[in-house]
C-alpha cells in the first residue's frame, strides 16, 4: 500500500477539522452559519495558492475551482461539504492522531467514560497498524465531510503540480449546509458545469454508492386551548399532552432508526419544542422507494387525524415537504459514472462494494437536478458523534483512487 499521501491528508484533515463549521437548520441564511465561511475562505485561498483556475466563493456559499484538463474527456466534478452535523457538539474540536493502532480499545483524554472498541465496531479491528484520527471525547471529529475535503484537496494539489498526468477538465465544489439538506441550491448545477460528478462523502474503503434514501421532512403543529390551570377543568386543551400522544402512536418498535437497517425505512422525530398552548414536532421520513415514503407520510397524517378526532377543540396540522430522492432513479438509466468508479477502484487495487446509503448526499440532489453524482468512500466511521474516527491510510487510499478515477475519465477515442 502506497503511503505517499498519508502526511498530507492527515495534516489537511487536522487543519480543517479544527475550524468550527457546524450548520444550523433553524437559520434561514445561506450558508446557515457564518462560521462555515471561515473554512470556505480558507479553501478558496489554498486553491488560489495552488494555482487552480476560476477560483471563487459564490454568494450562496460554495467554493468553485477548475483544474484545467490535460487530455480530452467529459468535465468531471468532485465535491465535498464543509459543514458538520448539528446533532452533537462541534465547537472546539481537538483532533488527535494515534500512531500505529494496536488493536485495543481507544480512550479519550477529555471523557474518561468514553471508549472506542473494535469489539463494538469491527471495522476498527481491520485497521491495526494504521494511524487513527479521533477527537478528544467532547466533540465530534468532523471527518464527515472534512475527510472528503482533505482527499479532494490533496488530489487537486497532486494534479496541479504534476501537469504530465492525463485527466480531463475537473471542477471542484465545496458546499455548505449538506447536513441540513441545503447544500445544493438551484444555481449550483449550472455553475458547476460538470457532465457528471462524485461526492467524497462515504465510509468504508471500496464503497461506491449510487442508491440513497428518498427523503421528506414533516412539521406537526399542535395548538391547544390556554386557560389558567386553576380554572382549567373542562376548558384547557394541553398541546404537550396531545403531542405526546402523537409520538406514542408512531411505530417505534418497527419503524424507528434504532430498530431498522438495510433497506428498511423509518419515521424519526428530530425535535419537539413549545409549551401547553402550542407544540411543534419536527420529523424526517426515509425510504428507498417512493411508495414506501408515501405510505409513511400517509401514516403520519392518519396519526395526526386520530389525535385531532380525540380532541376537536385542538388544531393539529401536518405539513410534509420533499427533501431529496433516491439517486438510483436517474443513475440506473446511465451507469457511466458508476462504471468509471468501478474501473478506477480495480486499478487502485480495491474491490468495489456498492451498498445503499441509509441517508443522502449532495449527490442525491445533484443527480435529481441533472448532474449524475455517485458517492465515494473516505474511510470515515461513527459519524455525528464523539466516537467518530478515520484512518489516515484509508484517506490516502481514497486519494489514490480519486487520481485513478479522473484518469479513467480520459476519452481515448479523441
**Pairwise CA distance, residues 197 & 205, whole Å:** 19
Strand order in the sheet with 170-175: 53-57, 63-67, 170-175, 76-81, 196-202, 375-377, 208-209
Distances (CA, A) of 255 to 90, 150, 262: 29, 36, 12
Q: Which residue has the cell 475537473?
A: 170
Cell of 398: 481514497
Query: Is 411 annotated among the ligand-binding residues?
Result: no
For residue 81, say whether it is annotated as part of any ligand binding site: yes
- Report CA-CA distances (Å) from 172 to 80, 87, 156, 394: 9, 27, 9, 21
Q: At what angle do helices 143-161 and 6-17 cross, to 10 degrees?
A: 130
Q: Is 130 among the annotated ligand-binding positions?
A: no
Return the active site residues.
Answer: 83, 178
Strand 389-391 and strand 132-134: pairing? antiparallel
Residues 6 or more apart whose CB falls under 8 angstroms from that of 392 comprise 6, 9, 10, 13, 97, 130, 131, 132, 133
| Neighbouring C-alpha atoms within 13 Å toward the C-beta of 302 | 9
Helix (H, G, I), strand (E, B) or coil at 410: coil
Confirm or deny that 201 is annotated as ligand binding: yes
DSSP string, 273-318: EE-SSEEEEEEEEEESSHHHHHHHHHHHHHHHHHHHHH-TTSEEEE
Ranges of H-type helices in 311-391: 328-331, 336-347, 362-368
Is position 6 annotated in a ligand binding site? no
Residue set of the binding site: 81, 144, 179, 201, 384
Annotated binding site for Zn(2+): 81, 144, 179, 201, 384
Amino acid at each position: 500500500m502506497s503511503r505517499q499521501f498519508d502526511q498530507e491528508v492527515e495534516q489537511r484533515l487536522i487543519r480543517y477539522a479544527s475550524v468550527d463549521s457546524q450548520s444550523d437548520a433553524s437559520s434561514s441564511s445561506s450558508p446557515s452559519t457564518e462560521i462555515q465561511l471561515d473554512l470556505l475562505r480558507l479553501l478558496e485561498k489554498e486553491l488560489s495558492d495552488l494555482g487552480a483556475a476560476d477560483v471563487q466563493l459564490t454568494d450562496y456559499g460554495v467554493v468553485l475551482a477548475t483544474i484545467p484538463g490535460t487530455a480530452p474527456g467529459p468535465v468531471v466534478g468532485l465535491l465535498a461539504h464543509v459543514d458538520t452535523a448539528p446533532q452533537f457538539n462541534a465547537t472546539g474540536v481537538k483532533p488527535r492522531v494515534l500512531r500505529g493502532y494496536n488493536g485495543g480499545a481507544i480512550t479519550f483524554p477529555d471523557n474518561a467514560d468514553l471508549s472506542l472498541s473494535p469489539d463494538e465496531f469491527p471495522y476498527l479491528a481491520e485497521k491495526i497498524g494504521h494511524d487513527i484520527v479521533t477527537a478528544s471525547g467532547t466533540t465530534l471529529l468532523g471527518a464527515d465531510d472534512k475527510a472528503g475535503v482533505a482527499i479532494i484537496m490533496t488530489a487537486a494539489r497532486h494534479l496541479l503540480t504534476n501537469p504530465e498526468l492525463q485527466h480531463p477538465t475537473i471542477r471542484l465544489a465545496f458546499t455548505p449546509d449538506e447536513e441540513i439538506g441545503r447544500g445544493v441550491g438551484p444555481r449550483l448545477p449550472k455553475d458547476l458545469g460538470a457532465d457528471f460528478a462524485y461526492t467524497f462523502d462515504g465510509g468504508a474503503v471500496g464503497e461506491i454508492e449510487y442508491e440513497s434514501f428518498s427523503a421528506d421532512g414533516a412539521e406537526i403543529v399542535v395548538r391547544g386551548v390556554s386557560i389558567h390551570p386553576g380554572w382549567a377543568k373542562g376548558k384547557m386543551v394541553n398541546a404537550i399532552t396531545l403531542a405526546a400522544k402523537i409520538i406514542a402512536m408512531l411505530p417505534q418498535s418497527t419503524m424507528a432508526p434504532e430498530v431498522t437497517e438495510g433497506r428498511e425505512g423509518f419515521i424519526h422525530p428530530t425535535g419537539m419544542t413549545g409549551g401547553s398552548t402550542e407544540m411543534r414536532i419536527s420529523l424526517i421520513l426515509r425510504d428507498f422507494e417512493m411508495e414506501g415514503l408515501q405510505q409513511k407520510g400517509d401514516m403520519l397524517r392518519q396519526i395526526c387525524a386520530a389525535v385531532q378526532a380525540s380532541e376537536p377543540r385542538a388544531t393539529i396540522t401536518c405539513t410534509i415537504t420533499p427533501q431529496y430522492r433516491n439517486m438510483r432513479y436517474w443513475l440506473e438509466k446511465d451507469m457511466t459514472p458508476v462504471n468509471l468508479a468501478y474501473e478506477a477502484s480495480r486499478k487502485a487495487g480495491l474491490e468495489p462494494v456498492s451498498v445503499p446509503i441509509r441517508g443522502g448526499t449532495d449527490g442525491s440532489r445533484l443527480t435529481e437536478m441533472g448532474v449524475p453524482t455517485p458517492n465515494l468512500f473516505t474511510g470515515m466511521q461513527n459519524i455525528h458523534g464523539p466516537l467518530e474516527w478515520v484512518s489516515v491510510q484509508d484517506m490516502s487510499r481514497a486519494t489514490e483512487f480519486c487520481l485513478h478515477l479522473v484518469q479513467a475519465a480520459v476519452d481515448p477515442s479523441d
